[in-house]
């Protein structure tokens, strides 16, 4: 996102966090993530393009990868770090 504004939101999740997908006949779907007192809803424009499909597929792939990693950490008994990075690159 060169030269544009950038916002960041970090949602600490726990067992009370939730996600919800809603499909509608006459409008685009909604995907919601709720964590604590924060609710984030992903909404699409009424007229969809190929980029919107690409985003949805990427979201699904990344969410699946996240689920695999969370399960791996849970099964290993390791306590995950905060996820904060001290520099560039992937957090270890």
Q: Decide: 12 and 36 in contact? Cβ < 8 Å.
A: yes
- 13 vs 33: CA distance, rounded Å: 10
The total number of residues shown for the chain amounts to: 92
Q: According to the model, what pLDDT value does residue 35 have?
A: 95
| 25-78 per-position pLDDT tens digit | 999 999 999 999 999 999 999 899 999 999 999 999 999 999 999 999 999 997
Beta strand segments in the chain, E: 18-22, 30-35, 38-43
Give the confidence band of 92 by pLDDT, cuts at 50, 70, 90: very low
* The pLDDT of residue 84: 52
Q: Any long-range contacts for 57-64 (C-beta under 8 Å, 24+ apart)?
A: 59/31
- pLDDT at position 86 is 45
User: What ranges in 8-92 are assigned the alpha helix state H?
Assistant: 50-76
């Amino acid at each position: 996102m060169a030269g544009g504004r950038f916002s960041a939101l970090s949602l600490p999740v726990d067992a009370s966090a939730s996600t919800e997908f809603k499909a509608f006949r006459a409008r685009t779907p909604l995907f919601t993530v709720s964590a604590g007192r924060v609710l984030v809803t992903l909404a699409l424009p009424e007229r969809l393009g190929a980029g919107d499909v690409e985003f949805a597929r990427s979201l699904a792939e990344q969410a699946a990868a996240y689920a695999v990693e969370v399960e791996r950490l849970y099964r290993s008994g390791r306590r995950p770090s905060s996820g904060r990075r001290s520099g560039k690159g992937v957090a270890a």
